[in-house]
Amino acid sequence: MSNFNSFPGGWRIIDDALSKWNLNKWTIKESLPILHEKFGIPLFFKISVKDRDTAPYGKIISISEGDFGLPHKDLYLIDESSEIIQSYLELLANVFKLFDRTSEEAKKFAKIIYNYEKRIVKDAYYLNKEIPSSGEIIQLGRLVQEVSSLGVYDTIKVVFSKTRLPDSADIWVEDLEKLKEVSRIVSSTEASVLNDIVAWSIIRNLLPYLSKDFQNIRAQFYYDMYHIDTLEPIWYKCTETVNSFVPVGIEVLRLQNQPRLQTSIQSKEYIQSIFDQIKESINSEINDAIWISEGLSKYLMDNVSKMTIQIGVPETVIRDERFLESYYSEYLPQTISFVENVEQLWVFEKTIMEKQLGELTEKDELMYEMFPVSRTKFTAVRYSSNLNKLLIQDNLLRHNYFDTEIPLSINFARIGTDIAEALIEAVQTLSHRYSNDVRSSKPLPYGAIIESQTTKCLKLPKPLGILPIDAQRTQLISLSAVKLTKTALIQVLHKLKKQEIDVFQYFGHHLTNGDFQRLPSLRKYDAHQLFDLTLMQRHCSYANIKYKRLKPFIENVLSEDRRFENLWNNVRVLRKDFDCSSQKTVKCENIL
């Protein structure tokens, strides 16, 4: 901390003589651009690039919610006496003690940080909570005027230093009203408190890479919060860190040096056929959905029909020996102090983001879409709206997860539902594009706005009395994906009986030898039941009670037992396959 000389005024939490703390020299407006530029730490707001949902499309700079010390902002709404909040306060105090502060000083510091983060959440992020914003595009000049105390203009300028950004440049803002409220709160806060907030944001982002004393504190926090006895072993931590820092390098080198890992042509054709069948199923559902307007329905079906698929890293990249040299030309690994790699990684990520704002070769654009910057949530199957293409990672097709020789039902329950979930996400993205273009159509209800009527119908559980909107959205998508995949499988089995050429050439061998490739104990189940068993097996897991309650706030999904129960109760065809259809089911509206 004392070596971060680029922050004027020093740090209050460090001994005054070391940090040269000077209240008169330190301002949040000067510090935020440095924080975002050097570390990419999203304090108060996050800067990134996203797909633009309006013409001329392409990529656009985005401003969205910042992050906090607790795993999810909704956790600041629970009672302070809860074990979760007390564990967080203890973490804060223990970290502060390592800066040679007394227990009383440490407790005071912890309360300052927690109370301020809670104030931001309650007064800004839950402003008009019942009407979530779907984002808007505004000019940079106006944004600067609206949130003047946050230094947004200088921050955008230093993060995208090689891009010309006049005041008329378009910026996508997730929720302008919330951002304005954050700006108001920051402008009325003492500089000493803001200095502590900035210092804590740096420490918690570097915490996984710091010394043993910090690791012990982190381990205690994990035990208190999740009842996890030990942190990951050092070898696992190292390999995971390298994988998250340079995923493109790892994957391309693996494929160049072990060609057998490349997805075979037969596997690609097989997956292409699954993809085509699920697209057909989705278009049929869209066409039959009376709650989707005629114009939106036509737009969605047209784009889904034209959608293509990319399976694995393109051959042109694997064969290009200079690709990695070019891709990582501005990444300089540090060998003396590992923590400095975090800063270097962000420098590299900024470069990648900035390149996406300009003209790209088809190869580069595909790789940037397939491997987003490391701080973006990784998904093995994802949709690129700019390419109108579904992207599937090679590694999803390894480790016995997928095989053309295993029964068809198992592949549909695994890779099929993964594809269907990505396609539902794609339909949601496309509906936003349509509504933005015509200005008269409401987007489908899988996005930011979750209809209370739908969630009540589904009876989604609320651990801790709250269920984050993203977790609700994930469950809605999962329900649709299972239903659509099962419908597609039923259609494929029907076509196989009639030996229709579009599926028989890829799946026909399952008619003759599929049953004999099963374990004897599974041969009594038909294709529909095998799909159901494989699907529900994905939600069989053990998790301690503490983590089950927190999973929706950490991973944005329900705990596996709740997902299992919710699928079983709301996808009627699953129970019907096992003659369990006597249970009453309420059909929920507005879900594909």
pLDDT of residue 88: 95
Mean of the pLDDT values across residues 276-291? 92
> Torsions phi, psi of 99, nearest 5?
-95, 30
Structure tokens at 39: 């570390």
Structure tokens at 26: 């330190």
Between 334 and 136, the higher pLDDT residue:
136
Does the structure show a pLDDT above 90 at 12? no
Does the structure show a pLDDT above 90 at 89? yes
Does the structure show a pLDDT above 90 at 95? yes
- Rounded Cα–Cα distance for residues 465 and 462 (Å): 5
Name beta bridge partners: 390.
Answer: 309, 383
Structure tokens at 582: 């006597």
- Rounded Cα–Cα distance for residues 293 and 53 (Å): 19
Long-range Cβ contact pairs of 470-474 (< 8 A, separation 24 or more): 470/556, 471/552, 471/553, 471/556, 471/557, 471/558, 473/446, 473/447, 473/556, 474/556, 474/557, 474/558
Does the structure show a pLDDT above 70 at 305? yes
From residue 68, how far is each of 43, 131, 226, 506 by CA, in Å?
Answer: 8, 22, 18, 49
Mean of the pLDDT values across residues 239-266? 82
Query: Is residue 431 within 8 Å of residue 296, measured between CB atoms?
Result: yes
Which of 335-346 are b and which e, b meaning 16 or more Cβ less than 10 Å from the residue's Cβ? eeeeeebbbebb
362: three-class secondary structure by DSSP: helix
pLDDT of residue 227: 77
Structure tokens at 398: 């390894």
- Residue ranges per domain, the chain? 2-195, 232-261+313-392, 264-307+394-577
- The residue type found at 28 is I
Between 152 and 398, the higher pLDDT residue:
152
Q: How many CA atoms lie within 13 A of 529 on its CB side?
A: 11
- Rounded Cα–Cα distance for residues 48 and 354 (Å): 9
Query: Is residue 515 within 8 Å of residue 523, measured between CB atoms?
Result: yes
**pTM confidence score:** 0.89
- Rounded Cα–Cα distance for residues 382 and 369 (Å): 9
- Rounded Cα–Cα distance for residues 283 and 463 (Å): 35
* pLDDT-based confidence at residue 274 (cuts at 50, 70, 90): very high
Q: Which residues contact 424 (CB under 8 A, 6 or more apart)?
A: 282, 446, 477, 480, 481, 484, 592
- Rounded Cα–Cα distance for residues 355 and 493 (Å): 46
- % of the chain with per-residue pLDDT over 70: 88
- Rounded Cα–Cα distance for residues 292 and 441 (Å): 9
Mean of the pLDDT values across residues 225-251? 80
Q: Which residues contact 238 (CB under 8 A, 6 or more apart)?
A: none
pLDDT of residue 279: 96
Which of 75-89, 190-204, 570-584 is predicted with the least confidence, judged by mean pLDDT? 570-584
pLDDT of residue 55: 79
* pLDDT-based confidence at residue 4 (cuts at 50, 70, 90): low
Between 181 and 54, the higher pLDDT residue:
181
- Rounded Cα–Cα distance for residues 368 and 373 (Å): 8
pLDDT of residue 129: 56
Structure tokens at 497: 């009986």
Mean of the pLDDT values across residues 174-196? 92
> Is there a cis peptide before residue 56, judged by omega within 30 degrees of 0?
yes
- % of the chain with per-residue pLDDT over 90: 33
Which of 536-555 are b and which e, b meaning 16 or more Cβ less than 10 Å from the residue's Cβ? beebeeeeeebebbbbbbeb
> What DSSP state is assigned to residue 520?
G
* pLDDT-based confidence at residue 316 (cuts at 50, 70, 90): confident
Q: State which CATH number among 2.60.120.10, 3.40.390.10, 3.90.1150.10, 3.30.450.20 fits the domain covering 264-307+394-577.
A: 3.40.390.10
Mean of the pLDDT values across residues 567-572? 84
> What DSSP state is assigned to residue 515?
G
Does the structure show a pLDDT above 80 at 583? no
Which of 122-131, 516-525, 579-588 is predicted with the least confidence, judged by mean pLDDT? 579-588
Class of domain 2-195: mainly alpha
Does the structure show a pLDDT above 60 at 16? no
pLDDT tens per residue, range 378-389: 688 999 998 999
pLDDT tens per residue, range 335-347: 777 777 778 888 8
Mean of the pLDDT values across residues 537-555? 84
pLDDT tens per residue, range 120-138: 999 988 865 555 567 889 9
pLDDT of residue 446: 47
Does the structure show a pLDDT above 60 at 514? no
Which of 91-100, 116-125, 529-538, 564-573 is predicted with the least confidence, judged by mean pLDDT? 564-573
Sign of CA dihedral 42, 45, 47, 48: positive
pLDDT tens per residue, range 476-509: 899 999 999 999 999 988 888 877 766 767 676 6
pLDDT of residue 399: 65
Question: Residue 56 burial (CB < 10 Å; 0-12/13-18/19+)?
Answer: exposed
pLDDT of residue 448: 37
Sign of CA dihedral 518, 540, 280, 528: positive
- The residue type found at 466 is I
pLDDT of residue 383: 93
Does the structure show a pLDDT above 80 at 199? yes
Mean pLDDT estimate for the chain: 84
* pLDDT-based confidence at residue 278 (cuts at 50, 70, 90): very high
> Torsions phi, psi of 59, nearest 5?
-105, 155
Helices 212-226, 83-97: axis angle to 10 degrees equals 170
